[in-house]
Amino acid sequence: MTAVVTLENVSVRYLSAAEPAISDVSLCVEPGELLLLAGPPGCGKSTVMRLVNGLVPNAYRADIGGPVTVGGQDAKGLTIRQISQTVGTLLQNPGTQVVGHSVLADIAFGLENRGVPAGDILARVHGVARRLGIDESLLSAGTSTASAATLFISTGVCTR
């Protein structure tokens, strides 16, 4: 089976910096694996994620040394849109990533941006909601009236 993402001895130096942000980073993410990047501020976590999701070098100009593959393809030849078909990013504060007026709209957001036909989006959103155990009342809840913590606690994904 093809790895979802690979980095082999990769280095990244932003064009605005004298020193590399990361050096000699290697990783392999297989299908079904979940990867957590953890470390102190400034150790390169954000740079690795920007590299994996295509923001480096497409939005952040940088010199990249070493091969990066996404879905078995050389990432150099892929656009951010193509990479987003394989890679998703969840930032440190998911509450800042809420973009829709409802939970349903937030789940649909990615599908809309990928150009999925409107007639298919609703069925796919409901399918994902069923798989994740999100009931209809939460699916229709307004995101402006509930915090991210409330939404996570309501689904049982996160408890405090």
Q: Could you report the per-residue pLDDT of 62-83, keeping only the tens digit for each?
A: 999 999 999 999 999 999 989 9
> Residue 35 and residue 51: Cα distance in Å, rounded?
14
- 46/116 Cα distance (integer angstroms): 29
Q: Which CATH architecture has domain 5-83?
A: 3-Layer(aba) Sandwich (3.40)
Helices and strands: H and E segment counts in the chain: 7, 5
What is the per-residue pLDDT across 14-34, written as a single tens digit (0 to 9) for each? 999 999 999 999 999 999 888
Q: DSSP label at 146?
A: S
Residue where the block lists tokens 């957001």: 109
Domain ranges of the chain: 5-83, 94-155
Q: Which regions of the chain are under pLDDT 50?
A: 153-160
Give every CB contact of residue 53 below 8 A, 6+ residues apart in sequence: 80, 83, 84, 87, 88, 89
Question: What pTM was estimated for this model as a whole?
Answer: 0.68
The reported pLDDT for the residue numbered 156 is 47
